[in-house]
Amino acid sequence: MSNQHESINYIEIPAKDMAKTKAFFETCFGWKFTDYGPEYTAFDKSTGLDGGFYQSDKSSLTSNGAALVVFYSDDLEATMAKVQTSGGAVIQDIFSFPGGRRFHFTEPSGNEFGVWSDK
């Protein structure tokens, strides 16, 4: 897919512990990374969107006003179990909303993500 004018193209997320964050996403979601020095690593469109993690003491949480990155799952319960066994922490259990269900989790660097399903 080529770059599209004025579309979201890339996302950068802080990481307190780069090694643990990479290990979590590799184990849980099968992501592959390209390192650009010790303080930056990138992931590619095979994840759904290009992006990267940069070294930071901060984390991205909706309670601090951060945007929420949301994954889609065909099997919400299985994805939640995989998040937990891979080192993530569920911070909001599965709940229903108009159009589906979702849960929120943090990865080892403390960044919050959501996972939703229409099933």
CATH of the domain at 68: 3.10.180.10
Cβ neighbourhood burial of 55 (10 Å; 0-12, 13-18, 19+): middle
Long-range contacts of 34-40 (CB under 8 A, 24+ apart): none
> Predicted confidence band at 48 (pLDDT cuts at 50, 70, 90)?
confident
18 part of a folded domain: yes
95 part of a folded domain: yes
How far apart are the C-alpha atoms of 32 and 99, rounded to whole Å? Answer: 31
Residue 29: which of 101, 78, 90 has the closest Cα? 78
Q: At residue 39, does pLDDT exceed 80? A: yes
- What's the total number of domains in the chain? 1
pTM over 0.95: no
Domain of residue 50 covers 10-117
3 part of a folded domain: no
99 part of a folded domain: yes
- For residue 27, give the amino acid letter: T
5 part of a folded domain: no
